[in-house]
Structure formats: C-alpha cells, structure tokens
Amino acid sequence: MSTNGPVVRLGHLYPDHLNIYADRGNIAVFQRRLEWRGLALDVVEVGLGDEIPEDCNLYYLGGGQDRDQLMVAQDLVGKADSLRRAAEGGAAVLAVCGGYQLMGHSYVAANGEEMAGTALLDLETTAGTDRLIGDVVLSVDLDGATGTVVGYENHAGRTRLGSECAPLGRVHKGHGNNGEDGFEGAVSGRCVGTYLHGPLLPKNPWLADTVLRWALDHSGANIELEPLDDTLERSAHATAVARAGLKR
C-alpha cells in the first residue's frame, strides 16, 4: 500500500537485547495500522552505545533476560536524559516487561544487583522469589476512553507505583504489578509501561491506536485516525477474555 501522509518516527530501543516477548510484533502492528491508513512508520533502531535521538515521536522498549537487562540498564542510565526530554516534549513511550521495569527509578534483580532506571515513571521494582505467570484481563481508562486490555504476563518483578503515576488498569484476571494491589502497568503523560506481552498490541487495537494518536500529535500531524476493520483483532481479544474465564 502506498503511503503519502505523515510519517511517525519510532525509536526502537535495544532491539537486539530486549526482544524476547515478540516485541517486533508490536512494532509490526504500529506499522501496519499506519499503512492501512496511508501513513508510514520510520523505525530507528538504537543499540548499545548509540545515542537516543530526541526527534522521535514514539519510543519502544521491550523485554529481556536479567543479564541483557543489566547491560541495557548500564548503557541507558547515561543517556536517559535524552529520553526524558523527548517524553517531556510530548513524545509517546511504550515499555513492556523488562523495559517497563527500566522506566522506573530502579530494579533489584533476583541476585540482589540493583539497576538504575530512567525515572520516566515513578515506580520501583524488586524481583520476587517466584514468577507471576498467566493470562491477564484489565479494565483501562486511557486518554478519555475506557476499554478492556488483554495479554499474558511472565515476570518475577514486584512493581510498586509512586504518587506521580497512575496504574494502566485494574486487574480482573491475573496478578498485575505485584500480585497484591490489583493493578497493572503504569501511565504518566504519554508514557505507558506494562507487563503484558505475547505481543501486546495485536489483540488490543484500541491501545495501539491511542499510542499512535499521541505519536501523530507529537509529529504535528493534524489528522484523525480512520476506523479500521478490526473484526479479526476483536475476535482474538474476545477469545483471550473467554480463555481467562470472564464474560466479554
């Protein structure tokens, strides 16, 4: 499909190290949902040692093993100011699982090693003794709209939010941030963090389009996203809700 409209510039952070939860699938969803509307996605991959460009409209940080997360944390902490400035300027950020943990102030791994985060989100994470695993269903209020978000979690981290960010959603099925407070993920401005993967976006087109609207707004594009035929996506979403034992 030809694209002749605005271009969303996406900074994919550490794709070679934080990519174990089908994170490229989320990038593909962003790309296709733009292309189906005659728009385009320009992906800039940022690896270890690379500077983070501040002119992106959207940044994505995925999940990885603790050893990869430690390497990334050591690299990211020295250039987190660039990411913070971009976010403060209105760019959107989506961080999943390990990337979500690095959006906070710190993450303490199972071996006791502490990794400094970017502090884009007011939260801290400490690894627990067991993993929180399974299907998740959330009710989410985001950007003036309410919807259901589904996904899969597999994390040892116990994340607790501070006062400067809000949960992404309330848990109806699953463990969420810590298995105790009934919440999952975090939101501050246009920065969203979540433990949900699988990947996250194919079954949650509403969430994908919310993030894309933010990115387009940051790009200066004054357009409305045209509705798409999301029959397949809605069916996959409904199947995930049913599998969790909940009514749609």
- Known catalytic residues are 97, 197
Query: Strands 191-194, 92-96: parallel, antiparallel or unpaired by DSSP?
Result: parallel
Nearest to 175 by CA among 157, 192, 199: 157
- Tell me how far apart the alpha carbons of residues 130 and 133 are, in angstroms, rounded to a whole number: 9
Task: Copy the structure tokens of residue 83.
Answer: 């990411």
Residue 159 buriedness (CB in 10 A; 0-12 / 13-18 / 19+): buried
Would you state the structure tokens that stand for residue 44, as one six-digit string? Answer: 């800039």
The residues pairing with 94 across neighbouring beta strands, listed in sequence order, are 60, 192
Question: Taking every pair of C-alpha atoms in the chain, what is the biggest distance, in angstroms?
Answer: 51
Give the residue among 149, 129, 126 at the shortest CA–CA distance from 139. 149
**Dihedral over Cα of 26, 31, 34, 36: its sign:** negative
**What span, in angstroms and rounded, lies between the C-alpha atoms of 208 and 214?**
10
Q: Rounded to whole angstroms, how far apart are CA atoms 242 and 239?
A: 5
